[in-house]
Each structure stands twice: as C-alpha cells, then as structure tokens.
Amino acid sequence: MVEPLLLFDALLGLAIAALAVAVLTVHDRFAMIVLFIVFGLMSALAWVRLSAPDVALAEAAIGTGLTGALLLTTLHHIRAAPAAPVPVPGGVVVANLGLCALIFGGLAFAFLLTPLQAPGLAPAVAQNMAASGVGHPVTAVLLNFRAYDTLMEVVVLLAAIVAVWMVERGTVQAPAPVLGEIYRGFSRLALPAIVVIGSYLLWVGAQAPGGAFQGGAVLAAVGLLLLLGRLYRPQPAHRPFARAGFVLGTAVFAGVALLVAGGGRLPFEYPAAHAKTLILLIEGMVTISIAVTLAALFHGREPEAVPVSEKSE
C-alpha cells in the first residue's frame, strides 16, 4: 500500500525534473520562460512538502515571480535577436551528456549513503531562541545568529543594481512594455492589497514564516505594476531618492552592528531588551531597500536624460 502523499511527492518530483528538461529543450523562448515559472512554482510546492514554508515563499516571490518578470522584460528588449545559432558539435554534446550523467550518478550515490535527519544545528538554535528577540527560528538565524550572511546578501543586492546601472549607462533602449487598459484597472485594485500583504509578511516574519525578503519581494511587485502601468515614470531627478533607497538597508544594518559593537559587545550581539526592536528596525529598512532595488533591477537602465528609442525607430 503506497501512501497517497508519497505518491504525490513522487509525481511532483518527476514533474519538476520533466519541467527542467522542457525549459532547456522547448524552442520558443517565451514558452521557455513560462515553463521556467511553472518549474519554480512546482519547486516551491515541493519545499512546502519538505516543511520549509519560508524558503517556498522566497522561491515563489523572488526566485520565480520577480526572476520571471526580469526574464520577460529582457526578452522584450532582445526579441529581435537574429536566430543564428552556431550548432555545438555532436561529440561535445555526447561527451557533456556522459559527464553530467556521471555527476548525477556520483551525487546520487553520495546522497543515498548520507544519513538523513542528522541533528544538525536545530538543537543549538532551539536553545538560544529565547535570547534571539524573535519567535521564528528562520528569522532568528537570518537576523541574529547569522546576521553577517544577511548583511553580505544585502550588499550583493546593492552591488547588482550598481552593476546593472553601469552596464546600461548611456544606452538607448526600446520603450518598456505597457499594460493595457484592463490591466491598469486590475493594478489599481491589486496595488493596495499587495501593499498590505507585503507589510504583513514583514511583520509576521518575527513569529511565523515570512520576513524581510519575502515582504520586500511582494512590495517590489508594487513597483513593477507602477512601472508597467505608467503610473510612475522614473525621472533623472529621482535618482538621488533611488540611490538612498538602495543604500538604506545596508547602511542601517551596518550602523546597528557598529552601534552594538561600540557598546563593548560583538557586532550582532544585540542587547536582550532591545533585540526585537533592533531586528524589526533592520528588517523594515532592509525590506524597503529590497523592494526599491528589485523594482529598479526590473526597470534596468538608470533614468537618464537620454531620449528613449530615438535610434531603434
């Protein structure tokens, strides 16, 4: 007798692997991106089955939703790409296929020999939860026990927007796609709801699955809708505000660490009485930075005083 949920897991696993193959083999590039989005959502579902709701939320919002939007807007800009594929020699393909099959076999062998459900760091986290200032273990790890990782992650996001602005500086691009009338009406209805959901995810992250990254990604969707609906048009004069938004999270995060260190403690050893306040302050500012940065990554080129699309017409 096979347990129904295990059967579901097996079918889901097969579907995920099949979608991964389909993403790489489907000819049409639009279909490729749509299949990738389906793949990401199915992976998020699998992670829910593995009792990792935080990771599933992050994958659905950031890894799938916003990445999908980035891919689609890039496809819009390069859709006129001349389809002149230089075919890879058959021998190279076969050799790589063999090597990747070997890697799969080796990794699967190692995985099957690895004892699952080792204690790991869960007991250590559980012991120190009372001192962390929050009630949700993943948030405690992200913002307290391993706060250095998270600080560096915010820095990586900052580096990405700097790089994107540098790469596309002074270039002339086709105008971004515009939402139709119906979508504009939809976005007017959806915007307030998204703001509430994003803020709720941020707030609830202290006690339950959610947090700065998931909330920030949902709020970034507000930025995407504003940009797509032409409800907000980036102007060169807005750049200082955008830059302030990009830096805000990193600055507050590092500032709090330095202030705590200035009081004779380790950089992220928050005073127990203020731990929750400090964590919420950091999370709030990081959420704003994430939302602004992700929306700016979607917009791509820095708003410059260059006339858009004078050359491509």
Q: Decide if 39 contacts 19 (C-beta within 8 A).
A: yes
Residues 62-81 that bind other proteins (CB under 8 A): 62-63, 66-67, 70-71, 74-75, 77-78, 80-81
We find the least distance from the C-beta atom of residue 188 to other proteins, in angstroms, to be 27
> Which of 41, 134, 141, 288 lies at the binding interface for other proteins (CB under 8 A)?
141
What is the rounded CA–CA span in Å between residue 242 and residue 210? 25
What is the rounded CA–CA span in Å between residue 13 and residue 67? 22
Q: Is 97 in the site for other proteins (CB under 8 A)?
A: yes
> Which of 1, 113, 130, 156 lies at the binding interface for other proteins (CB under 8 A)?
156
Q: Is 9 in the site for other proteins (CB under 8 A)?
A: yes
Contacts 24+ apart (CB under 8 A), 176-181: 176/73, 176/76, 176/227, 176/228, 176/299, 177/73, 177/76, 177/228, 178/228, 178/229, 178/230, 179/225, 179/228, 179/229, 179/230
Q: Is 131 in the site for other proteins (CB under 8 A)?
A: no
We find the least distance from the C-beta atom of residue 62 to other proteins, in angstroms, to be 5
Q: Is 171 in the site for other proteins (CB under 8 A)?
A: yes
Q: Which stretch binds other proteins (CB under 8 A): 113-121, 176-184, 195-203, 247-255?
A: 113-121
Q: Decide if 294 contacts 69 (C-beta within 8 A).
A: no
Task: Identify which of residues 95 and 193 has a Cβ nearer to other proteins in the complex.
Answer: 95
We find the least distance from the C-beta atom of residue 258 to other proteins, in angstroms, to be 22
AA identity, residue 119: P
Residues 274-313 that bind other proteins (CB under 8 A): 290, 294, 297, 300
The residue among 221, 209, 214 whose CA lies nearest residue 48 is 209
Q: Is 120 in the site for other proteins (CB under 8 A)?
A: yes
Q: Is 125 in the site for other proteins (CB under 8 A)?
A: yes
Q: Decide if 41 contacts 60 (C-beta within 8 A).
A: yes
Joined together, the tokens standing for residue 286 give 């990081």
Residues 235-264 that bind other proteins (CB under 8 A): none
AA identity, residue 52: A
Task: Identify which of residues 277 and 312 has a Cβ nearer to other proteins in the complex.
Answer: 312
> Which of 31, 131, 167, 196 lies at the binding interface for other proteins (CB under 8 A)?
167
Task: Identify which of residues 70 and 308 has a Cβ nearer to other proteins in the complex.
Answer: 70
The CA dihedral of 194, 196, 197, 200, to the nearest 10 degrees, is: 160
We find the least distance from the C-beta atom of residue 144 to other proteins, in angstroms, to be 10
Distances (CA, A) of 129 to 124, 205, 269, 281: 9, 14, 13, 19
Task: Identify which of residues 53 and 267 has a Cβ nearer to other proteins in the complex.
Answer: 53
Joined together, the tokens standing for residue 147 give 């706060």
The residue among 11, 7, 54, 52 whose CA lies nearest residue 206 is 54
We find the least distance from the C-beta atom of residue 111 to other proteins, in angstroms, to be 5
| x/- track of binding to other proteins for residues 16-35 (CB under 8 A) | xx--xx-xx----x--xx--
Half-sphere exposure of 283 (CA within 13 A, CB side): 29
> Which of 34, 146, 203, 231 lies at the binding interface for other proteins (CB under 8 A)?
146
